């Protein structure tokens, strides 16, 4: 564990040493990774994903009693709320809701005395999160890997959310997400007024992540220029995402062939789905691709989560103390 401390309102509120949260990446942020980030002084969040309560219980067991949070895809949770009850029974450090209206679940989360974290991509979503009583708002820029919107950049969106929250709910905390992969990103987020950061791509390339070594090596060789936002991958994976959200990933021949031709892809979906399932089994990266953000340019190796957190905090502290 790092001896360098960066104390913010977020660290004080959550009782952690470093203002770093693990992004609850679906099917990637399991209990082992979440526990490793918590042990390193940040806060790990298990990715609740698409509503598999049994998987979630197993990941809590993998965390071996470490203080961790859980993140859910809100629209999916609305279809199957069982995993929320399973998570609340474990008294998580926080429940994070992303991609949908948090109001439906806010009262239940607060009644369990669990802090509510809400990820937003627009000012209107942030206002809705405040109405829901969110203790923490994650401001996600379009640079982020995985799902989100392509409408705003982290560098301008974060201070706008900071100002909005300061005006309407000064006690609410703001966390920056999108493009944060090293100490420079952490220092920049704090300078923009955020209380901490949510880290996805850099911890996607950690030894504890639920990602194959082959996929990680494929990602490490990519740059931000190699990523793009698309709905193609959700179509072939048969993930029924709301239209306003798309997915940032590493572009490959599958994406190049079908991006902009989604109607034709849907017309040939059985064939495309069959080919995709075969590619998953064979780790064929002409079809399967890493779901990472623009910050992949800043990632050059696969390392333990504790080392990533330690170096990020140490570098940020040196920058801020110049």
- State pLDDT tens for residues 21-74: 999 999 999 999 999 999 999 999 999 988 888 999 999 999 999 999 999 999
- Percent share of the chain, pLDDT over 70: 99
> Can you give the residue range of the structural domain that contains 34?
9-210+300-320
- State pLDDT tens for residues 174-207: 999 999 999 999 999 999 999 999 999 999 999 9
| pLDDT reading at 223 higher than 70 | yes
- What does R_g of the chain's alpha carbons equal in angstroms? 18
> Which pLDDT score, from 0 to 100, does residue 3 have?
57
The rounded mean pLDDT for the chain is 95
The reply to whether 185 and 96 lie within a common domain is yes
In this structure, of 49-58, 91-100, 230-239, 246-255, the range with the lowest mean pLDDT score is: 49-58
Quick check: is 294 in a domain? no
The reply to whether 91 and 169 lie within a common domain is yes
The reply to whether 93 and 176 lie within a common domain is yes
Domain CATH number, residue 175: 3.20.20.70
Quick check: is 4 in a domain? no
The CA-CA-CA angle for residues 62, 66, 67, to 5°, reads 125
- State pLDDT tens for residues 270-303: 999 999 999 999 989 999 999 999 999 999 999 9
Q: Residue 1 — very low, low, confident or very high, per pLDDT cuts 50/70/90?
A: very low
Quick check: is 265 in a domain? yes
| Helix/strand/coil percent split, the chain, to 5 | 45, 15, 40
The reply to whether 167 and 310 lie within a common domain is yes
The reply to whether 60 and 133 lie within a common domain is yes
Interval 162-171 mean pLDDT: 97
Quick check: is 128 in a domain? yes
The reply to whether 101 and 80 lie within a common domain is yes
- The model carries a pTM of 0.94
The reply to whether 17 and 122 lie within a common domain is yes
The reply to whether 106 and 227 lie within a common domain is no
Q: Is the dihedral of CA 34, 38, 41, 45 positive or negative?
A: positive
| pLDDT reading at 228 higher than 50 | yes
The reply to whether 19 and 82 lie within a common domain is yes
Nearest to 196 by CA among 57, 31, 18: 18
Count of structural domains, the chain: 2
> Which pLDDT score, from 0 to 100, does residue 49 have?
85
The reply to whether 276 and 130 lie within a common domain is no
Quick check: is 160 in a domain? yes
The reply to whether 81 and 168 lie within a common domain is yes
Q: How far apart are CA 152 and CA 157, in angstroms?
A: 6
Quick check: is 183 in a domain? yes
């Amino acid at each position: 564990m790092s001896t360098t401390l960066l104390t913010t309102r977020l660290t004080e509120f959550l009782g952690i040493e470093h203002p770093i949260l693990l992004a609850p990446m679906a099917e990637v942020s399991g209990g082992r990774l979440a526990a490793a980030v918590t042990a390193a002084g940040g806060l790990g969040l298990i990715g609740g994903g698409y509503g598999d309560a049994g998987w979630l219980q197993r990941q809590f067991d993998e965390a071996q009693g470490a203080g961790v949070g859980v993140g859910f895809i809100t629209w999916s949770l609305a279809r199957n709320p069982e995993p929320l009850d399973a998570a609340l029974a474990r008294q998580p450090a926080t429940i994070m809701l992303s991609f949908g209206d948090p109001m439906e679940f806010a009262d239940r989360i607060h009644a369990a005395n669990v802090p509510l974290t809400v990820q937003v991509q627009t000012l209107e979503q942030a206002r809705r999160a405040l109405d829901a009583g969110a203790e923490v708002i994650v401001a996600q820029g379009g640079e982020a890997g995985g799902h989100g919107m392509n409408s705003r950049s982290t560098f301008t969106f974060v201070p706008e959310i900071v100002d909005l929250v300061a005006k309407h709910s000064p006690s609410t905390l703001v966390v920056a997400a999108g493009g944060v992969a090293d100490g420079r990103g952490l220092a920049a987020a704090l300078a923009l007024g955020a209380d901490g950061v949510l880290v996805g791509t850099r911890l996607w390339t950690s030894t504890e992540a639920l990602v194959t070594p082959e996929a990680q090596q494929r990602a490490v060789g990519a740059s931000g220029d190699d990523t793009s936002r698309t709905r193609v991958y959700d179509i072939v994976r048969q993930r029924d995402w709301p239209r306003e959200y798309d997915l940032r990933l590493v572009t490959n021949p599958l994406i190049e062939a079908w991006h902009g031709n989604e109607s034709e892809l849907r017309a040939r979906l059985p064939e495309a789905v069959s080919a995709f399932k075969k590619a998953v089994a064979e780790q064929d990266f002409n079809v399967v691709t890493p779901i990472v953000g623009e910050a992949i340019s800043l990632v050059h190796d696969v390392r333990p989560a504790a080392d990533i957190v330690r170096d990020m905090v140490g570098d940020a502290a040196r920058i801020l103390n110049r």
